[in-house]
Chains A and B, each alone.
Chain A
Amino acid sequence: MTDLALELVSVTAGYGDNPIVREFSARLYAGTITTLIGGNGAGKSTLLRAIFGTNRHFSGQIVFKGETIEQLPPWERLKRGVGFVPQGRCNFPAMTVEENMKMGCYTLPAGRHVAAIERVANSFPMLRTKWRTDAGNLSGGEQQILEMAMVLLVEPTLLLLDEPSLGLSPKMQGDVFVTVQQVARTGVTVLVVEQNVRGALLISDRALVMEQGRLFMEGPAAEVRTDPRIRQAYLGGNIKQTAA
């Protein structure tokens, strides 16, 4: 549990001329689930985008498997094993599930597509039952599973998940959490942003707390869960954040 999967060294990132995430440093350990907690607009999505490379990097290092990747474009990071499932619906709605899966294989050599799709479809039997349905006609939960499946096709060693349970029924939220745990058990390092903080802390090994783009607290999930400030801000009856 001490193998380093990803190290962020004072990362500053944002959009255009606006740095949103500031001097953010953290470590993710191989095969663990880390949850990233923070209020609305704290910069959680911005941090995940920075790790995948779809927004502007200002300064700092992102070290993945001993290599600094912050200057690489997203497809190069994907090839090295960084997978990212963005927030909200992120699939090809006018393509069938099958076509979406084929697109998921985009960076793989053609000879590996069939085997990759077979492997991932076996872990998500739901997909097979909807194989010829347009992704846009799936339920929110099914689309979320599909999006995770599309990224898992390339066997990433680091999986970034942005609010995978957002907008799902409580039952589907549970299914998504179980799926995340299954994925982590195969050795994949997971960094997950969750609006369901309680649920996410329960399946996570560690937690990072972000406030206004900066690291506010980090530690084992069990400790963060019992911290009075976290309990009050994120786990109380009132979900409204106090940006103290």
Chain B
Amino acid sequence: MNKTSNPADLAEISKRVRRHIIEMITAAKSGHPGGSLSATELVVTLFFDTMRHDPANPKWADRDHFILGKGHACPVLYSTMAECGYTPIDQLNTFRRLGSIYQGHPDVRFIPALEASTGSLGQGLSIGLGMALAARLDHRPSRTYVVLGDGEIQEGQVWEAAMFASFHKLDNLACIVDYNKIQLDGFVEDIMPLEPLADKWKSFGWHVIEINGHDIPAVQAAFAEAATVKGKPTVILAHTVKGKGVSFMENNPKWHGTAPSKEECELALKELA
């Protein structure tokens, strides 16, 4: 795969990934476009710039680990991994069909290069902590990255994990909150508000970075900063827009888990041309 640190290249890849997301969810007639589009720059930057990994050798011991806690956003992960060369791009449109490797939520039985089967919200961070502990025990340079949804962090387990991570000084892990302000039933503000969110993480002993999660240089800088923090875990609160890149999907709870029609797909692809 061709890794790149050039923000313009990463923006170009992000656009391709967004097109895949729209096309595969349209083909499947089901899936979650909103939270896939909000996390695109975060996931693309990790896989194409930040992380140490090798699609030709997915079980390389010294690789960095990536876990998508909010497993329903797997179209962004599948598309990015396919662009990296892990899995076939031309099968993305089999998403959610019987026998497809592109299951409705990440499933290690079908794609062994995935680090975890997720889909039940709230467990990804804990799995990541286990991987970070193992890397430290084995003196491996592996870093672990876990992307969580803002709705997802309402799960109590996330805060059990947050306490655990700082107690065990897991500075080889970074948690990224895709802070798009929307969950399933509506706006986070109306369902179960999270603010003051940075203060919550700080009080749990984390180093907190807040960025615009669509600003690629800011995303790159945040991952670089996280790697320099010693003695505590880092959380990146990435302010994003749910449905980013498709005007009629942006900031609209309807597009959490609704597939676009053929016409809507065409409109979206035009905007992502």
Is the pairing of A and B real?
A: no
Report A's interface with B, CB cutoff 8 A: none
Report B's interface with A, CB cutoff 8 A: none
